[in-house]
């Protein structure tokens, strides 16, 4: 089974859930069109897939995982919209399509990002969820922390502050653990919470899995920036190098970066050992993350 066919039911599931949750009306329809554009931009839906796969591994019902899956995808989407802004990375294209501020305009992109962040917390906390109140609260606090000034946004700020400046390996790793790792680990935790599991050995093992694939994801991103071609990546190949961004291959060499990727992949698989056969899908996802070509 390919990773695409493995993940497809979850991708379809979260997209149907997102679609149905965005049916309400606003006084400013264009704002909501921009939110929808940002949410349905051809993304791989890795974070919601993680929520569902972890929830299933812990015998959860995926109905309980729908809102957490939607919420983390909304936070991820908002972060892409703001990252692409002219004041930030100034990207016109994402996955080969015009970025939100190009398809709409800059103020609309700022506000659509802001509203996507707000709606993520509304979805997690709202009455539509049947999860226990303490689990939902834990989910809100965890996602907020992973998204904020000790998580994703801190990583992004650190990144912007260090463009063109040399980074040590541990700084680079810390940056990525914040910038992309925090949200991927949060996805795993939201999956566990959806199954009613909020602590214990299984929870900790899954967190370690999330940490490992989060960093592996970024190492592979850096490798792809050197190896990939523009059409497959949806962004110009070599753009990190051109912008003098610190990367794993720049610090470790391409072979060193590949070795680091293999070590992280092994960490991820080791974390899944206690789950035996049941963790086949999460194993396949880890395999995909280190082998993907875009």
Interface residues with its own copies (CB under 8 A)? Answer: 24, 26-28, 30-32, 35, 78-79, 82, 85-88, 106-108, 110-111, 113-115, 117-122, 124-127, 133-134, 136-138, 140-141, 143-145, 147-151, 153-158, 160-161, 174-175, 178
For its own copies, which is the closer residue by CB, 176 or 265? 176
Q: How far apart are the first and last CA of the chain?
A: 19
**Minimum distance of its own copies from residue 250's CB (angstroms):** 20
For its own copies, which is the closer residue by CB, 48 or 155? 155
Show the tokens assigned to 38. Answer: 């940002």
For its own copies, which is the closer residue by CB, 77 or 281? 77
Q: Where are the alpha helices (DSSP H) in the chain?
A: 3-21, 29-39, 46-57, 62-83, 100-103, 106-125, 133-147, 152-161, 169-176, 182-194, 201-227, 230-233, 239-242, 248-272, 280-291
The number of residues making up the chain comes to 294
Q: Which long-range contacts (CB under 8 A, 24 or more apart) does 13-22 make?
A: 13/52, 13/62, 13/66, 13/69, 14/45, 14/48, 14/49, 14/52, 14/66, 14/69, 14/70, 14/73, 15/40, 15/45, 17/66, 17/67, 17/69, 17/70, 18/70, 18/73, 18/74, 21/70, 21/123
Distance (Å, rounded) from C-alpha 260 to C-alpha 219? Answer: 8
For its own copies, which is the closer residue by CB, 31 or 284? 31
For its own copies, which is the closer residue by CB, 107 or 274? 107
Distance (Å, rounded) from C-alpha 37 to C-alpha 19? Answer: 11
For its own copies, which is the closer residue by CB, 93 or 125? 125
Distance (Å, rounded) from C-alpha 71 to C-alpha 76? Answer: 9
Show the tokens assigned to 202. Answer: 């299984």
For its own copies, which is the closer residue by CB, 57 or 71? 71
The residue with tokens 């899908």 is 281
**Minimum distance of its own copies from residue 24's CB (angstroms):** 7
**Minimum distance of its own copies from residue 267's CB (angstroms):** 22
**Minimum distance of its own copies from residue 175's CB (angstroms):** 7
For its own copies, which is the closer residue by CB, 183 or 224? 183
**Minimum distance of its own copies from residue 289's CB (angstroms):** 24
**Minimum distance of its own copies from residue 163's CB (angstroms):** 10
Q: Residue 166, Cβ neighbours under 10 Å: how many?
A: 11
**Minimum distance of its own copies from residue 290's CB (angstroms):** 25
**Minimum distance of its own copies from residue 187's CB (angstroms):** 16
């Amino acid at each position: 089974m390919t990773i695409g066919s493995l993940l497809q039911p979850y991708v379809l599931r979260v997209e149907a859930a997102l679609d149905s949750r965005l049916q309400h009306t606003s006084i400013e329809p264009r704002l909501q069109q921009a939110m929808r554009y940002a949410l349905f931009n051809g993304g791989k839906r890795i974070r919601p897939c993680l929520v569902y796969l972890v929830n299933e591994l812990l015998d959860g019902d995926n109905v309980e995982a729908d809102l957490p899956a939607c919420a983390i995808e909304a936070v991820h989407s908002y972060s892409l919209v703001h990252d692409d802004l002219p004041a930030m990375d100034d990207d016109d294209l994402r996955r080969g399509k015009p970025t939100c501020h190009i398809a709409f305009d800059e103020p609309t992109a700022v506000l659509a990002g802001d509203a996507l962040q707000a709606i993520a917390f509304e979805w997690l906390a709202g009455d539509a969820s049947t999860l226990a109140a303490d689990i939902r609260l834990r989910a809100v606090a965890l996602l907020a922390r992973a998204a904020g000034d000790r998580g994703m946004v801190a990583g992004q700020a650190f990144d912007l502050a260090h463009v063109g400046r040399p980074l040590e390996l541990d700084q680079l790793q810390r940056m990525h653990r914040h910038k992309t790792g925090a949200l991927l680990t949060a996805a795993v935790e939201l999956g566990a919470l959806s199954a009613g599991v909020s602590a214990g050995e299984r929870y900790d093992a899954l967190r370690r899995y999330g940490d490992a694939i989060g960093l592996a994801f970024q190492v592979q991103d850096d490798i792809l920036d050197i190896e990939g071609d523009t059409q497959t990546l949806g962004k110009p190949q070599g753009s990190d190098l051109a912008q003098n961004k610190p990367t794993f291959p720049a610090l470790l060499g391409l072979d060193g970066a590949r070795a680091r990727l293999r070590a992280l992949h092994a960490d991820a698989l080791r974390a899944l050992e206690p789950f035996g056969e049941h963790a086949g899908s999460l194993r396949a996802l880890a395999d995909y993350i280190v082998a993907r070509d875009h």
